[in-house]
Each structure stands twice: as structure tokens, then as C-alpha cells.
């Protein structure tokens, strides 16, 4: 009869130095038998909802946190009872498993995999065997645990975030605790970290701490000004005069990012109202064509294509400001962000290499992006790396606005609603379909002339799609 042992799974860093995550739901219960990589929970980071796979095959022994709890990275969230026999996930022999890289019958893939360190998604770089004894490392509670040898089965290695705890104070410990990206952000904003109070684990200063301090210190405005609107009165308890909703997850991250963007990039907003009747007529023809049968075509689809064409003539709007290197970085590709309102707050996933897509491909990508965002399944990768964004405020019946730039981007286009209005057409007054376009851009990167030309090109395409023939 094989022996069993208890293995703890600690909440890993799900990307970009995030310090905490909320457990939305458990997919398993105590006593359940799980397999390797089976989804055991859904957690929400500051950027997206992520499914956590099980790093072990065994039985769930304990759930240390309840659904709805906000847990710091490195804290135990679940324990498993696993079979210790043979050190294999299934409790059998090692033959044929990634840990048995020298066993007969093991594939080349398994042999290569046995040399890799596990992380949350996939595996890290190949680790060569050195023949030296396993190093000891400190755990999150200050205790000492044995580091698993790299050639043991991957399923037996819990995903942990190592934190070095020196035995004696050092000069590094005397300064405020923060990560290198956070220290760089503080330097960029001219903030002394000695003045910032850390809200992370053990007083760690987080990116959000720096951004909120910058908002208050540099512009003397309260961060509460960017908190979400209060819930409708019917959402509260009868008789109560107000409803309070904790600011966390995606909404907390979005608020901090918008504060940083508003107080870092000098925004300029321009407006243009155009007659989009020809574009709406084109949309009707395309919907009834054989090529687009079964595909979802909307005014956003054609407007997105028009934005991509306009960028070819005005590439300065597809760039970012690298303050550390004191350089302007112009992108030779377009990752088109689409602002999406979700139950958990505003997100801006982006379509990678949208400039290389046909109208049909762009239509498919937009449908998939919006469906995924509304269901809360957008991955962190889809939220990162955007180069320019579109926000479609027209779906809410709004004509124009002054959108805030997505951090790290040079421009954002707001599409207003399409309305019938009196318009001078062919020197006569007629009822036409018109739309207001709003363009906000970073004046460090984009001059007024460049922004105006881009907006004019965009308006020209939407008012006469045939104008594309003269632009490309």
C-alpha cells in the first residue's frame, strides 16, 4: 500500500508583479479527486479572470480560502493528498513520465520537459543538471523548505513565488520595499518612495500605491474621483441611503491606470462630424453579400478598418513615449484595442496585427474579442501590447466625448452614435446619417497637424469609402 503526503499549492504571481488576486469560484471541493492540470479555481487579477490548473494529481485535502476572498501572492490556497509512491502524479512508476527522462520509452518531448522548471502557464527555460546538491530556500513564513530537484516529476513541484529573506539586515532592506518596475515608475513620476505607504504584503509598495500618490500629490485631486459610479438604488438594501462596493480587481486596476494616463500624458481632443450615409449603405450591401453571409458586420467593423487605413498615412499615432530611454517608439504593426464594458469593469483587449487582416478577418476577430470580454474570459495576453484603441460610445446613444488614453498608447478614437440629421448634401438640405468622431492623442507624440490629418482621413473614408482608392 503506497504512502501519501500533503502538498500545498500557494497562489502564484499571475503576471507583471501583481500582488494579490480574488478567488471567484472553486471548481473542486474537499474530497474530490483531481488530475494533473485540471482546473480547480477561477481567480480575478487586476487585469483578467484566470483559470488555475492543479499542479498535482490526487485528492483535495483542504481549501484554505473561500470564494470571494482576496488572497496575497504566496499564500496557501489549497492542499492536496497525493500518492508518494514512485514520486509520480499517478502514483505508479516513473516510466513514461516527464520525470523519468532516462526511462525506456520516454519521448524526446518528455525528456526535454523533465529539464524545465514549472510555472503557471507552460514551462521555463531548460535547466542543466549541475550535480550539486539541491539548494535550500526560505518559504513565505520565514521557514526553510527543501527545493525540489529539477529532474523530479513536474506534477510534484508546487508553483511557488520564491522570496529571499536575508538572515541579517542589509542596505537593500533599509530603503522602501518595492519591485524594480515600481521603482522605475516612481522615478518617472518624480516621486520619493520614502513618502509612499505600501499596501502590499509586508508593506510592499505596489504600482497602484505610486499611481494613487501621484494623483494626490501632483494634482491635489482625490483618487475617489475616479471610483466607479454608485450602484443603482434598487441594488441596495431597502431603507439604506447609499450602497458601497469594494474597489478591486479589474475596476481597481483601470482606475489607477486612468489616473496615471490622465496625469502623465498631455491629452488633446479633436472632434469631427461626418456624413456616414455612404458607409451605412455599404454596410447594408455587405451584409447581404455571399462573402459575408453568416458574419457579424457592424458600423464598428468598418470604422475599425478605416482607422487602420488612416494609420498608414499617419503613423505617428501608432507609437509610444519611452521616458526611460528618452525615445519615441513607432510601431510597425497595429494591435488594435477595443474598449469593452464588462460586469467587472472596463477592459481594453486588443486584436494582434489587425493591420494585416482583411475586412472578413477583422469582423471575426472583433466578434470573438467582444464575446470573450463580456463573458469575463479575456486573457492577460490579450490585454497587453495594444498600440491604439477605439471606444464605441455610440452604442450608448452618446455623440461625442473626451476619452482618456489607454496607458502607453498615443491615441484613442471615440465613435459616436449614427443619427439621422439635416445635412447639406449636393448643395441641398437633406436628411442624412451622421456620426461624430472624437480623437484624443498624446501631444508629446502627436502634433496638432498630425492628429488633424489622421482625423480628416478617417472622416473622409467614412463619408466616402471609395476615397480609399486615393489613399493606398
Q: By C-alpha distance, which of 386, 318, 322, 376 is closest to 352?
A: 386
Residue 75 burial by Cβ neighbours in a 10 Å radius (0-12, 13-18, 19+): middle
Q: Are 33 and 59 in contact (CB under 8 A)?
A: yes
User: What burial letters (b/e) apply to 273-288, b meaning 16+ CB within 10 Å?
Assistant: bbbbbbbbebbeebee
CA–CA–CA angle 214, 217, 222 (5° rounding): 85
Q: Are 216 and 196 in contact (CB under 8 A)?
A: no
Phi–psi pair at 262, nearest 5 degrees: -65, -35
Which candidate in 147, 267, 425, 443 is catalytic? 443
Q: By C-alpha distance, which of 117, 462, 445 is closest to 310?
A: 462
Tell me, letter by letter, the H, E, C secondary structure of 235-275.
HCCCCCCCCCCCCCHHHHHHHHHHHHHHHHCCEEEEEEEEE
| Integer Cα distance of 321 and 328 in angstroms | 5
Q: What is the CA 366 to chain-centroid distance, rounded?
A: 17
3-state secondary structure of 307: helix
Residue 169 zone, left/alpha/beta (φ > 0; ψ -120 to 50; rest): beta
Catalytic-residue membership of 425: no
Beta strands, E only, 133-214: 136-138, 144-146
DSSP per-residue codes, 349-387: -EETTGGG--HHHHHHHHHHHHHHHHTT---HHHHS---
Q: By C-alpha distance, which of 254, 389, 269, 380 is closest to 334?
A: 389
| Integer Cα distance of 67 and 52 in angstroms | 13
Q: What is the CA 150 to chain-centroid distance, rounded?
A: 31
Which residues carry out catalysis?
Answer: 443
Amino acid at each position: 500500500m503506497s504512502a501519501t503526503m500533503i502538498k500545498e499549492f500557494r497562489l502564484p504571481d499571475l503576471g507583471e508583479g501583481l500582488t494579490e488576486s480574488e478567488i471567484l469560484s472553486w471548481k473542486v471541493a474537499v474530497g474530490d479527486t483531481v488530475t494533473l492540470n485540471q482546473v480547480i479555481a477561477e481567480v480575478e487579477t487586476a487585469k483578467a479572470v484566470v483559470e488555475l490548473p492543479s499542479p498535482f494529481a490526487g485528492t483535495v485535502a483542504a481549501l484554505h480560502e473561500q470564494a470571494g476572498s482576496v488572497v496575497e501572492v504566496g499564500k496557501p490556497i489549497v492542499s492536496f493528498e497525493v500518492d508518494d509512491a514512485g514520486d509520480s502524479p499517478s502514483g505508479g512508476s516513473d516510466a513514461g513520465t516527464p520525470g523519468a527522462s532516462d526511462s525506456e520509452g520516454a519521448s524526446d518531448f518528455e525528456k526535454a520537459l523533465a529539464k524545465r522548471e514549472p510555472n503557471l502557464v507552460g514551462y521555463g527555460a531548460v535547466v542543466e543538471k549541475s550535480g550539486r546538491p539541491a539548494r535550500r530556500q526560505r518559504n513565505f513564513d520565514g521557514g526553510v523548505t527543501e527545493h525540489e530537484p529539477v529532474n523530479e516529476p513536474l506534477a510534484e513541484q508546487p508553483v511557488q513565488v520564491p522570496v529571499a529573506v536575508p538572515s541579517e539586515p542589509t542596505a537593500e532592506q533599509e530603503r522602501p520595499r518595492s519591485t524594480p518596475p515600481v521603482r522605475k515608475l516612481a522615478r518617472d513620476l518624480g516621486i520619493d518612495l520614502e513618502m509612499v505607504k505600501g499596501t502590499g504584503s509586508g508593506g510592499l509598495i505596489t504600482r497602484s500605491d505610486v499611481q494613487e500618490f501621484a494623483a494626490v500629490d501632483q494634482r491635489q485631486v482625490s483618487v475617489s474621483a475616479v471610483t466607479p459610479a454608485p450602484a443603482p438604488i434598487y441594488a441596495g438594501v431597502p431603507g439604506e441611503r447609499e450602497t458601497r462596493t469594494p474597489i478591486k480587481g479589474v475596476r481597481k486596476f483601470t482606475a489607477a491606470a486612468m489616473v496615471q494616463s490622465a496625469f502623465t500624458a498631455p491629452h488633446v481632443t479633436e472632434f469631427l462630424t461626418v456624413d456616414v450615409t455612404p458607409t451605412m449603405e455599404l454596410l447594408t450591401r455587405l451584409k447581404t453579400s455571399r462573402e459575408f453571409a453568416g458574419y457579424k458586420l457592424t458600423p464598428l467593423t468598418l470604422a475599425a478598418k478605416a482607422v487602420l487605413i488612416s494609420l498608414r498615412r499617419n503613423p505617428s499615432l501608432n507609437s509610444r513615449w519611452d521616458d526611460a530611454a528618452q525615445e519615441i517608439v513607432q510601431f510597425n504593426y497595429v494591435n488594435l484595442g477595443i474598449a469593452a464594458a464588462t460586469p467587472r469593469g472596463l477592459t481594453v483587449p486588443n486584436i494582434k496585427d489587425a493591420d494585416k487582416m482583411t475586412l472578413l478577418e477583422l469582423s471575426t476577430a472583433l466578434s470573438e474579442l467582444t464575446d470573450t470580454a463580456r463573458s469575463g474570459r479575456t486573457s492577460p495576453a490579450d490585454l497587453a501590447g495594444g498600440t491604439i484603441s477605439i471606444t464605441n460610445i455610440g452604442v450608448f446613444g452618446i455623440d461625442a466625448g473626451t476619452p482618456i488614453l489607454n496607458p502607453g498608447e498615443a491615441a484613442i478614437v471615440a465613435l459616436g452614435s449614427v443619427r439621422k440629421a439635416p445635412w447639406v448634401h449636393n448643395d441641398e438640405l437633406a436628411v442624412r446619417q451622421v456620426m461624430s468622431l472624437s480623437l484624443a492623442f498624446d501631444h508629446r507624440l502627436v502634433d496638432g497637424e498630425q492628429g488633424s490629418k489622421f482625423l480628416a482621413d478617417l472622416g473622409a473614408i467614412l463619408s466616402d469609402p471609395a476615397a480609399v482608392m486615393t489613399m493606398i
